[in-house]
């Protein structure tokens, strides 16, 4: 018993048969149906990991993400974040401070009218002394490469810049882990690149655990681990290479694979002796050169 | 029958400090029945350009002709033009407002002056085209899933039976499944009904897969205009203006540089696969 | 049209007025307004005019920017002017048109009322033009702080105000977008009688409300995720602190008020 608890504490996140039901009501306010958005999910995320969660809309991945920040608490099962049970109301604010959250729509999560004031919002709520807030704001904006926009109004920034401000706002709270719920879905390709670059830097330089929910397969290839969700369950788990070598299974969940992986898979089907799980175009070119 | 743009320029807030030249001397011809991809980074003028095509934004200078008629002529019926050139905005589901799906789709045809029966007829037809079955007709549009909402919104424009359909990033924010469904339906409409389609997109892969002509916008000007193979040949120039070519184009180019006998202009997975296999066959490999 | 409303709009510039503590500016505006209503006679107006124009000069806000704010109250101004002009009884009748007459007193009152109204608007727009919305709400929150003891939700109200100010430009942009999207479906917002026009707003207002609610619920979630739990235990990134210039400003304000009162008593 004691031993398992020690193990829990080493993981950033540990989910044990986590389930979440929500009730839909009809117009008269009667219970219409109960929907099991997350259905008995178990997984763990180690400190410092970069984990990507894939799945089509309605697969339950956003609901799962909100659990990590204790915006939702499990209907069944347990979720530990940094050793804390998220259902424990006394630890609510500690959970939220350890696991920050970035949402899809950049406009709807920026509170301040000036970039630096928005980044200071989290620390203000936590009761951080004024001087330290300034320090944290400066560090965080530097970490996402937005320091030179500190006096700007968020309304004048591009989507990618706004999203980086939102990330800085979370970083300023000094979290152990950041959950990003489709942070690039509303951005153009350049904005997506900026944001992914910032996220990877946080993971590698600041050693913050990252959980990235996305539809873009190119963003997944850097992950240490990939979870695939379908119908509220985790249906695949592994390294990007392991996941993307199963092109057909992914297709059955109506997901994409990176273009290079898809081309390699097609070529292999046609008879070329290529290895499984090619992720990048460099890898594909190299493998083809060996055969040529 | 076509849209012709002659020397179209558009300036935001002219003669102030905020003056922006959103379009600079754009000349284009869009013949009937083409499937066109319009690409360019954010702020390149592509959204402004499409809003000119149905008269929502009026050019500061230049002329636009729809089916030979000057749309800026004094007695030109702008509202009729909007029925002929249907424009689906980004995140079109944000414009839904009616109590049920069918009434919402009827909004366009009713504005065209059709009777309620005719409008319903059109709306049902449009909903069928986008794959929304009859059981949803009486549902509130706000209860649908994201992908369904978007298709209802597209039906709202299709119900006006436009000759030209313009879609501004119709797949933004959707998952791969929703994206494929919508693009396949648009492609079907183009093939079966012969509608001219202009697709504004950030995804080079989508553009390469579906369209027959690409227009590249940069800083308010047309940078390139041609078939995907020709346009993506300039991938280095595209990169310098914040764009890119499809992933496979990079792969075949690198292969070619490394001595493969491949067609460097391949832009889709299919094309790349064929040309790579062909290269191996030429070396005597049985594939 | 919406862009003409300068009231509540910030004009970025680097001036002493911009750097003043928002509490000073709020109190200053109130004292100035009180002063305006205490004025009796030309001398008082002369003092107020000098004071106001000196402030405008110091603020570095272009004069036409300030005047633009007056456009929105033009109608009210006109009505007050007409009422005072024709409906004030007086000793000497200057002009007589049918049953309406303009008296010397009427002319006097009309002019003074107009000046008072114009100065009132200019004075308060000068405050909003030189104070960022956030500073303004911060100032209000601190000034109204004592009301907390009476269970007035001062912090919540000021938080609501600053969020509203942040979302106004976003919602304006959204209005424009939805309007265009409905026009692309043949909607007509410009023609028809009053009822038709009101009806044509439904396709604009419903999506706008839905979007505002969606944004509000998103924002509430984002705030919760960032540990927001009301004003208690909260620290400030930019706490308000009086500097020397602020005390000087208070001095000048009291002097201004004293002169006005002295003129009222003495003359």
Residue spans per domain, chain B: 246-287
pLDDT at A171: 97
Which residue does chain A place closest to C165, by CA atoms? A113
Query: Is the pLDDT reported for residue C257 higher than 60?
Result: yes
pLDDT (0 to 100) of residue B1 = 63
- d(CA C247, CA C105) in angstroms, rounded, equals 41
Give pLDDT, residue C176.
92
CA–CA separation, C32 vs B29, rounded Å? 63
The residue among B81, B94, B95, B200 with the most chain C CBs within 10 A of its CB, best to mutate, is: B95
| C207–B160 C-beta distance less than 8 A | no
C177–B108 CB contact, under 8 Å: no
pLDDT band at A6 (very low <50, low <70, confident <90, very high): very low
Task: Kindly give, in sequence order, each residue whose CB lies less than 8 Å from that of residue B279, ignoring residues fewer than 6 positions away.
Answer: A292, B255, B260, B261, B262
Residues A129-142, mean pLDDT to the nearest whole number? 96
Domain ranges of chain A: 2-240
**Residue B198 to residue B85: CA distance in whole angstroms:** 10
How many Cα atoms occupy the beta-carbon half-sphere of B109 within 13 Å?
24
Range with lowest mean pLDDT among A119-133, C23-37, C116-130: C116-130
Residue B229 has pLDDT above 70, yes or no: yes
pLDDT at A8: 46
Lowest mean pLDDT, pick from A87-91, A105-109, C6-10, C222-226: C6-10
**Per-residue model confidence (pLDDT) at position A3:** 44
Are B247 and A190 within 8 A, CB to CB? no
| Amino acid B17: pLDDT | 62
Query: Tell me: the pLDDT tens digits for C180-223?
Result: 999 999 998 888 888 888 888 999 999 999 999 999 999 999 99
Contacts of A286 (CB under 8 A, 6+ apart): none
Given an 8 Å threshold on Cβ–Cβ distance, is C170 in contact with A107? yes
B228 or C64: which leads in pLDDT: B228
Give the pLDDT mean for B161-168.
Answer: 96
Q: What is the pLDDT of residue C165?
A: 79
Give C129's pLDDT tier (boundaries 50, 70, 90). Answer: confident
Average pLDDT over all residues of chain A? 91
Reported as a single tens digit per residue, the pLDDT across A156-181 is 899 999 999 999 999 999 999 999 99
Return the biggest CA–CA distance within chain C: 71
Interface contact B146-A57, CB threshold 8 A = yes
User: Which of B273, B275, B282 has the most A C-beta neighbours within 10 Å, making it the best mutation to test the interface with A?
Assistant: B273
User: Which chains pack against B, by 3+ Cβ pairs within 8 A?
Assistant: A, C
A43 in contact with C at a CB cutoff of 8 Å? no
Nearest chain C residue to A128 by CA: give it: C235
E strand or H helix at A226: strand A225-230
Predicted pLDDT of residue A292: 82
Domain A2-240 has CATH 3.40.50.300: yes
Tokens representing residue A280 in the block: 């990048």
Q: Answer whether B97 sits within 8 Å of C202, measured CB to CB.
A: yes
Q: What pLDDT is stored for residue A2 in this prediction?
A: 43
Chain A / chain C CB contacts < 8 angstroms: 93
The pLDDT, as a whole number, for residue C7 is 44
pLDDT for C4 beyond 60: no
Query: Above 50 in pLDDT, residue C6?
Result: no
C84 touches chain B (CB under 8 A): no
Q: What is the pLDDT of residue B42?
A: 87
Instruction: Say what the pLDDT of residue A93 is.
Output: 93
Contact list, B239 vs chain A (CB under 8 Å) = none
Test the A interface: residue of C226, C232, C236 with most A CBs within 10 Å? C226
Q: Is it the case that residue C133 has pLDDT exceeding 80? A: no
Nearest of B75, B76, B70 to residue B3 by alpha carbon: B70
**Mean pLDDT of all residues in B42-61:** 93
Contact B178 A263 (CB under 8 A): no
Are A259 and B247 contacting, i.e. CB atoms less than 8 angstroms apart? yes
A-B contacts at Cβ under 8 angstroms: 89
Is there a contact between B73 and B63 (Cβ–Cβ < 8 Å)? no
Average pLDDT, chain C: 87
Q: Residue A135's pLDDT is what?
A: 97
pLDDT digits (tens, 9 = 90+) for A229-283: 999 999 999 999 999 999 999 999 989 899 999 999 999 999 999 998 899 999 9
Q: What is the chain C residue with the closest CA to B114?
A: C186
pLDDT at B16 over 70: no
Backbone angles phi, psi at A150, to 5 degrees: -60, -30
Q: Distance between CA atoms of C83 and B95, rounded to whole angstroms? A: 46
Instruction: Report the 3 state secondary structure along chain B.
Output: CEEEEEEEEEEECCCCCCCEEEEEEEEEEEECCCEEEEECCCCCCHHHHHHHHCCCCCCCEEEEEECCEECCCCCCCHHHHHHHEEEECCCHHHHCCCCCHHHHHHHHHHHCCCCHHHHHHHHHHHHHHCCCCHHHCCCCHHHCCHHHHHHHHHHHHHCCCCCEEEEECCCCCCCHHHHHHHHHHHHHHHHHHCCEEEEECCCHHHHHHHCCEEEEEECCEEEEEECHHHHHCCHHHHHHCCCCCCHHHHHHHHHHHCCCCCCCCCCCHHHHHHHHHHHHHHCCCCC
Q: What is the mean pLDDT of residues C129-146?
A: 86
What six digits make up the tokens of A15? 């989910």
- Given its phi and psi angles, is residue A207 left (phi above 0), alpha (psi -120 to 50 degrees) or beta? left
C66 vs B8: which has the higher pLDDT: B8
- For residues A57 and B30, the model is more confident at B30
* Residue A30: other Cβ atoms inside 10 A: 7
User: What pLDDT is attached to residue C8?
Assistant: 53
Check A110 against C166: CB less than 8 A apart.
yes
| pLDDT bracket for residue B135 (50, 70, 90) | very high
Q: What is the mean pLDDT of residues B32-39?
A: 96
As a whole number, mean pLDDT of residues A189-205 equals 94
- Which pLDDT band, with edges at 50, 70 and 90, does C5 fall under? very low
Chain B neighbors of A25, CB-CB under 8 A: none
Chain A residue numbers touching C224 (CB-CB < 8 A): 71, 96
- Lookup: tokens for C160: 């609501």
């Amino acid at each position: 018993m004691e031993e398992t608890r020690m193990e829990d504490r080493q993981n950033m996140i540990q989910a044990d048969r986590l389930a979440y039901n929500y009730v839909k009501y009809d117009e008269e306010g009667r219970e219409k149906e109960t929907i099991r958005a997350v259905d008995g999910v178990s997984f763990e995320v180690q400190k410092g990991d970069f984990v990507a969660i894939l799945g089509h809309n309605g697969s339950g991945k956003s609901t799962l993400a909100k659990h990590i920040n204790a915006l939702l608490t499990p209907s069944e099962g347990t979720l530990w974040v940094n050793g804390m049970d998220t259902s424990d109301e006394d630890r609510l604010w500690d959970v939220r401070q350890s696991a920050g959250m970035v949402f899809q729509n950049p406009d709807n999560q920026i509170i301040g009218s000036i970039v630096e004031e928005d980044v200071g919002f989290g620390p203000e709520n936590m009761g951080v002394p004024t001087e330290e807030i300034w320090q944290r704001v400066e560090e965080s904006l530097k970490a996402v490469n937005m320091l030179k926009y500190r006096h700007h109004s968020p309304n004048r920034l591009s989507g990618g810049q706004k999203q980086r401000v939102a990330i800085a706002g979370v970083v300023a709270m000094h979290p152990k882990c950041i959950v990003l719920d489709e942070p690039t879905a509303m951005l153009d390709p350049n904005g997506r690149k900026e944001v992914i670059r910032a996220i990877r830097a946080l993971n590698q330089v600041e050693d913050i655990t990252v959980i990235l929910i996305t539809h873009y397969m190119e963003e997944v290839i850097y992950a240490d681990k990939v979870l695939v969700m379908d119908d509220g369950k985790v249906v695949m788990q592994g390294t990007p290479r392991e996941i993307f070598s199963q092109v057909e299974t992914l297709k059955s969940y109506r997901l994409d694979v990176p273009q290079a992986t898809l081309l390699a898979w097609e070529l292999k089907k046609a008879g070329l002796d290529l290895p499984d799980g090619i992720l990048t175009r460099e890898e594909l070119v190299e493998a083809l050169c060996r055969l040529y | 029958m076509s849209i012709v743009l002659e020397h179209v320029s558009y300036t935001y807030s002219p003669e102030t400090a905020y003056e922006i030249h959103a379009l600079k001397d754009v000349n284009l011809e869009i013949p009937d029945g083409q499937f066109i991809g319009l690409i360019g980074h954010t702020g390149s003028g592509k959204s402004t350009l499409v809003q000119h095509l149905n008269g929502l934004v009026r050019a500061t200078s230049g002329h636009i002709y729809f089916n030979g008629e000057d749309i800026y002529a004094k007695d030109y019926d702008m509202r009729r033009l909007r029925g002929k050139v249907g424009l689906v905005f980004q995140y079109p589901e944000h414009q839904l407002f009616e109590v049920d799906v069918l009434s919402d789709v009827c909004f366009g045809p009713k504005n065209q002056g059709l009777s309620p029966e005719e409008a319903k007829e059109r709306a049902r037809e449009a909903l069928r085209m986008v794959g929304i079955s009859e059981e949803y007709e009486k549902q509130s549009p706000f209860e649908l899933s994201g992908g369904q909402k978007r298709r209802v919104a597209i039906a709202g424009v299709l119900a006006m039976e436009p000759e030209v359909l313009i879609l501004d990033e119709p797949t933004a924010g959707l998952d791969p499944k929703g994206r494929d469904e919508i693009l396949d339906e648009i492609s079907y409409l183009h093939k079966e009904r012969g509608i001219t389609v202009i697709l504004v997109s950030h995804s080079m892969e989508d553009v390469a897969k579906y369209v027959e002509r690409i227009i590249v916008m940069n800083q308010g000007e047309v940078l390139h205009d041609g078939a995907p193979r020709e346009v993506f040949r300039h991938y280095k120039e595209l990169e310098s203006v914040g764009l890119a070519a499809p992933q496979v184009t990079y792969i075949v180019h690198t292969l070619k540089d490394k001595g493969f006998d491949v067609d460097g202009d391949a832009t889709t997975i299919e094309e790349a696969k064929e040309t790579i296999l062909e290269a191996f066959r030429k070396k005597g490999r049985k594939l | 049209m919406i862009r003409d409303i300068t009231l509540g709009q910030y004009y970025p510039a680097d001036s002493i007025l911009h750097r003043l503590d928002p509490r000073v500016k709020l109190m200053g505006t109130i004292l100035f307004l009180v002063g305006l209503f205490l004025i009796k006679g030309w001398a008082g107006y002369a003092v107020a005019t000098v004071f106001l124009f000196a402030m405008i000069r110091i603020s570095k806000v272009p004069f036409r920017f300030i005047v633009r704010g007056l456009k929105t109250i033009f109608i009210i101004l006109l009505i007050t002017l007409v009422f005072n002009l024709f409906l004030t009884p007086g000793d000497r009748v200057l002009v007589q048109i049918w049953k309406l007459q303009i008296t010397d007193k009427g002319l006097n009152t009309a002019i003074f009322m107009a000046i008072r109204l114009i100065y009132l608007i200019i004075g308060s727009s000068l405050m909003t033009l030189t104070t960022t919305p956030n500073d303004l709400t911060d100032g209000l929150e601190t000034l109204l702080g004592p009301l907390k003891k009476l269970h007035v939700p001062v912090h919540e109200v000021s938080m609501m105000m600053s969020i509203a100010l942040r979302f106004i430009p976003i919602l304006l942009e959204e209005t424009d977008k939805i309007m265009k999207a409905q026009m692309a479906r043949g909607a007509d917002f410009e023609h028809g009688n009053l009822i038709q026009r009101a009806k044509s707003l439904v396709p604009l207002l419903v999506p706008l409300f839905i979007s505002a609610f969606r944004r509000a619920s998103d924002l509430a979630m984002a705030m919760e995720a960032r540990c927001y739990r009301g004003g208690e235990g909260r620290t400030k990134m930019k706490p308000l602190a009086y500097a020397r210039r602020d005390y000087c400003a208070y001095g000048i304000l009291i002097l201004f008020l004293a002169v006005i009162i002295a003129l009222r008593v003495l003359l």
